[in-house]
Amino acid sequence: MAMPQFESNSARSWLQPMPIAWLTVESAETGSVLESASSFYNWASDGGLTTPSAEATTTTTTLTTTTTTPTADSSESLACSAPCAGQAKGHLQRSQRHAPSLALGLCTDCLVARSIRERGEAVIHTATWQHRHRIQRALTGDPVEVVLPEDLRPAQGVSVQRLAAAPVAFSCKLLQELSVGDDRVAFIFSVVGIHVDGALVVDGYIDSQALQAIAACEPTGSLMIAAREEHVMPFPAEKDAAGCWIVAGSEPMIPRTGAHLREDLVYEPPRLPCLPHNPLKALVVPRPIGWISTRGEFGDNLSPYSFFGYLAPDVVFFGAGGVHVDGGEKDAVRDARSSGVFCVNMVPWKLRVAMNASAAEAPHGVDEFSLPTAAGHDSDDIMLEKASCEHIDAPRVGNSPMHLECKVLEIIALTEDQDVVVVGRIVHAAGSADGAIAARGGYFNYFRMSEEHVFSSTNNS
């Protein structure tokens, strides 16, 4: 399957970065654990809300941790029975509705895909700088690598084992399989266990500098990109006296200098760990931002989604969680369902504030292309140009350097609470990915990603 043809002379025409699923599966055909990788991957849902629930304020959460140097036969663990941060007296317990989910694209009949169907399980690891050469070999490996027993450790909640060298592991059970075209298939997984190296957890937060995550710039991973330049930018949540949304700018992230966990962090969703905030989104970074524009009965809509990625060279998806502020489906989902189309706009770094403004929980009928915002930003940072798509009935961001026009293939309901995945085929692509772009990290964090962060995985750069 060929990648979509862009109306551009740029060789860098993918929406970078492409998160990498570095995975292990157990094959009945070979009787061994196999190591592979795919850059068609990202979160599909985060497992529900992490806002306070109406449960008792005195409830505590137990967190299981394991030693940082476990052996294959070690089951030693210790428990933390103290109240989670934010759950002290006067605060309510956070909750999740269901286990989070991941989406993964593979060749239909490859050995890894057959093994997933056979066992209904996989373990997916976060790709890191330390293991870049190994991961690149896994991306292009044919046949896939067989993992030696001494390089494996038990995984939480599944029988497939995890890689001992990987700092983050997601234990996954298969929820659904979807054909996305010639010889391509998408798997939707429920995450039933999470294992994090304790050295990554600093003062209760995932430290991105310690994680040193990487992503692919294109499917084979011959060029990769490192998540190094991190910024903080809170979501718009308040309006000023004139009714304009107060939109914060971005500030460079101050390195975390506190103490890290002495034991590994291990937990089983939907339970949350004993930390100030859910670490989930900080464990798959950098994530591309799908700036989704649609047209529907309430008008035009523009919203950013970092649960976005490719499932095949010409197939993309975005995951939308929860309900609209006015009730019902999010605008992007409702519009895509009714119109059958949507547009993905790339977020250049210079439009990061405008992208953040479009994340405001605005009522139906508010056009995020012209959302009223409080003064305090340069016009280039906040002003958007609306243009028309060429092949679908949807608006696009005219001053975004690249966009993908898509027709809906499938809308997958993950839960009864309107967490869904919208899958679309690219019918037209235009622009260039040259220049710095914005990508998502965990919490309120973003990465600035540009040419200086790109490296070749085939050399020691």
Within 10 angstroms of residue 133's Cβ, the number of other Cβ atoms is: 12
pLDDT along the chain (461 residues), means of 10: 49 70 95 96 82 34 38 32 36 61 97 97 98 92 86 98 98 97 96 98 97 92 92 93 90 94 96 92 97 96 97 96 81 97 97 94 90 68 90 98 97 85 97 89 96 81 51
Q: Which residues contact 378 (CB under 8 A, 6 or more apart)?
A: none
pLDDT tens-digit readout, 404-423: 999 999 999 998 767 899 99
For residues 342 and 406, the answer to whether their CB atoms sit within 8 Å is yes
> How many residues can be counted in the chain?
461
For residues 305 and 319, the answer to whether their CB atoms sit within 8 Å is yes
Token pair of 374 as six digits: 């409080």
Burial class (CB in 10 A: 0-12, 13-18, 19+), 380: exposed
Token pair of 244 as six digits: 């304009």
For residues 196 and 284, the answer to whether their CB atoms sit within 8 Å is no
Geometric angle at alpha carbon 184, from 180 and 186, rounded to 5°? 60
Provide the pLDDT for residue 390.
97
Give CA torsion, residues 274, 277, 280, 281, to 10 deg: -170
Closest among 188, 340, 321, 210 to 265, alpha carbons compared = 210
Q: For residues 80 and 54, give the distance between their C-alpha atoms in angstroms, rounded to a whole number.
A: 23
Q: For residues 436 and 452, give the distance between their C-alpha atoms in angstroms, rounded to a whole number.
A: 9
Residue type, 201: V
Within 10 angstroms of residue 452's Cβ, the number of other Cβ atoms is: 12
Q: Which 8-state DSSP code applies to residue 82? A: S
Q: Would you kindly state where each structural domain of the chain is located, as residue ranges?
A: 16-42+99-229+255-274, 288-440
Closest among 245, 265, 253, 330 to 296, alpha carbons compared = 330
Q: For residues 351 and 328, give the distance between their C-alpha atoms in angstroms, rounded to a whole number.
A: 29
Residue type, 409: L
Closest among 202, 138, 130 to 166, alpha carbons compared = 130
Beta strands in 239-374 (DSSP E): 251-252, 263-267, 287-288, 290-296, 299-305, 308-312, 315-320, 341-345
- Please report which helix (H) or strand (E) contains residue 305, including its range: strand 299-305
Burial class (CB in 10 A: 0-12, 13-18, 19+), 65: buried
Provide the pLDDT for residue 85.
37
Say yes or no: do domains 16-42+99-229+255-274 and 288-440 share a fold: yes
- The number of C-alpha atoms within 13 Å of 78 and in the hemisphere containing its C-beta is 9
For residues 304 and 364, the answer to whether their CB atoms sit within 8 Å is no
Within 10 angstroms of residue 326's Cβ, the number of other Cβ atoms is: 12
Q: Please state the CATH superfamily assignment of the domain spanning residues 288-440 in this structure.
A: Electron Transport, Fmn-binding Protein; Chain A (2.30.110.10)
Geometric angle at alpha carbon 252, from 248 and 256, rounded to 5°? 120
Q: Please state the CATH superfamily assignment of the domain spanning residues 16-42+99-229+255-274 in this structure.
A: Electron Transport, Fmn-binding Protein; Chain A (2.30.110.10)
Q: For residues 410 and 45, give the distance between their C-alpha atoms in angstroms, rounded to a whole number.
A: 16
Phi-psi region of 113 (alpha: psi -120 to 50; beta: other; left: phi over 0): alpha
Phi-psi region of 132 (alpha: psi -120 to 50; beta: other; left: phi over 0): alpha
Provide the pLDDT for residue 459.
65
- Please report which helix (H) or strand (E) contains residue 257, including its range: none
For residues 197 and 164, the answer to whether their CB atoms sit within 8 Å is no
Going 110 to 115 to 117 to 121, the CA torsion angle's sign is negative
Provide the pLDDT for residue 98.
79
For residues 171 and 123, the answer to whether their CB atoms sit within 8 Å is yes
State pTM to two decimals: 0.88
Q: Which residues contact 103 (CB under 8 A, 6 or more apart)?
A: 41, 42, 43, 44, 186, 187, 188, 189, 309, 311, 317, 319, 421
Provide the pLDDT for residue 3.
52
